[in-house]
Structure 1
Amino acid sequence: MIIDKEFYNRSAIDVANDLLGKVLVREVDGRILKGKIVETESYIGAIDKACHAYNGRRTKRTEILYSDCGVAYVYFIYGLYHCFNVVTNEKDVAEAVLIRAIEPLNEFDYISRVRYKKQFKELSKTQIKNLTNGPSKLCLAYLIDKDLNGDKLYEQGKIYLEESEENDFEIVKTKRIGIDYAEEAKDFLWRFYIKDNDFVSKK
């Protein structure tokens, strides 16, 4: 079942916690790729110097953060990689959840070919973990780019999120990654991940 829009109409912190265990679905190339969300980070524009919309900043890139909740925010970093986020909370409240890592659930050969030009059985243990254990890696494997920016995640389309029956796991709460520039915000415990999952980017 696709997750309802109202699920996203809450604080990015609450949504980041509750997205763990849910399923990312990407329809591409005649296939339906699925992955379990295992790691997330919250970003809250009003108080968070790591957020692209901190202190009310509005640019062409960040305008999507002020839109209705439940849409994709995909941005490009270092001129090389994409990152996939879920916009949360009410319209004009700039908050989002970065999907940091997923555990592949199907189409293993397909995503292995996309990432390594190999069949899944040919991958080393390290390559298997590196398929989707980071925000840019999962975007590479699932062919997520800026063409999906603004797509509604609560409707079936090229990308959306589904409910899951799995909730028997422990959540770890810790600091976010790669935001040392964000002064006091670098110490916010706004990263969440499923304990002991092999696809978490950093434990």
Structure 2
Amino acid sequence: MGIGELSSAALPRSFFDRPSHEVAPELLGRVLVHGTVAVRLTEVEAYGGPGEDPAAHTYRGKTPRNAVMFGPPGHLYVYFTYGMHFCANLVCLPDGSGSAVLLRAGEVVAGLDEARSRRSRRSNGKDRDLARGPARLAVALGLLREHNGLDAIGEASPALPGDADRRLTGVPHGSAAMLAGSPADGATIRSGPRTGISTARETPWRFWIDGDPTVSPYRPHVPRRRNAAATSVGEVPSS
């Protein structure tokens, strides 16, 4: 990952104004910046709209919890699950539609010290695991409940001073930007069933970069008690 990817242009809102299963594979290789930390996306999952996808939070319509998913495309839908984890998604389709892409895994490409600090209590010391799984990715980026609804369409590209820790200075604290980065080669993109959901389990809307060490392991659905962790827009086990 070079400075060129980190200083690339922000993706336009029109990029997200499409069905989530079309947006999802094209997010691979893109870079999400929040404050001083940047993550190159290597694994995502698409979730459809109301009445379309029983694994999606929007399946039964709009609620206070999922309201951001019915807003403008390109915003972050961040939710807290079972009292344990936050997970981050990017809203797709026009305002009022209710669809999103779950950000499942990625590589921390800037702000490593900050990401390591946030993950220190649960990290095994391997940088590849800092954002390997949706809950870990949210922790690495510092995404919390107050970031639900944050616009990820930046006005300008982050500026890089080129210092040793590669801190990003062009994204203000509390702001986010989805950068164009370097899109994954189509020949390396794989798709398959989404991880751990109990309904619509065969829908092949999980996309990942083949062979990338930051991709999380696939886990089929295993019935759990209510206090287990969910890490997707549907119901999945802990990362």
Relative to the length of structure 1, the TM-score reads 0.87
Match of 1:49 in 2: 54
Partners of 1:64 and 1:166 lie apart in 2 by 26
**Aligned-residue CA RMSD (Å):** 1.8
Percent identical: 30
Match of 2:202 in 1: 187
Greater alpha carbon shift after TM alignment, 3-12 vs 58-67: 58-67
2:22 paired with 1:14: yes
Partners of 1:179 and 1:166 lie apart in 2 by 27
Gaps of 5+ in 1: none
Residues paired across the two proteins, number: 190
2:152 paired with 1:147: no
Q: Is the 8 A contact 1:101 1:134 kept in 2?
A: yes
Q: Is the 8 A contact 1:148 1:159 kept in 2?
A: no
**Equivalent residue in structure 1 for 2:184, among 154, 163, 167:** 167
Gaps of 5+ in 2: 1-8, 156-171, 219-239
SS in 1 for 2:131: coil
How many Å apart are 1:91 and its aligned residue?
1.6
Residue deviations 1:88-131, cap 9 Å, x none? 0112111100000011112222211221169x9xx64xx33321
SS in 2 for 1:6: helix
1:6-85 → structure 2 map (5 Å cutoff)? 6-27=14-35, 32-45=36-49, 46-55=51-60, 57-85=61-89
Residue deviations 1:57-77, cap 9 Å, x none? 211011111111111100001
Larger helix percent: 1
2:115 paired with 1:111: yes
How many Å apart are 1:165 and its aligned residue?
3.0
Partners of 1:104 and 1:134 lie apart in 2 by 12
How many Å apart are 1:164 and its aligned residue?
1.4
Relative to the length of structure 2, the TM-score reads 0.75
Q: Is the 8 A contact 1:36 1:105 kept in 2?
A: yes
Give the partner amino acid of 1:114. R
Q: Following superposition, which runs of at least 4 residues in structure 1 exceed 4 angstroms of deviation?
A: none
Partners of 1:201 and 1:14 lie apart in 2 by 21
Give the partner amino acid of 2:54. K
Larger strand percent: 1
SS in 1 for 2:201: helix
Partners of 1:105 and 1:23 lie apart in 2 by 8
Give the partner amino acid of 2:53. D
Partners of 1:136 and 1:35 lie apart in 2 by 13
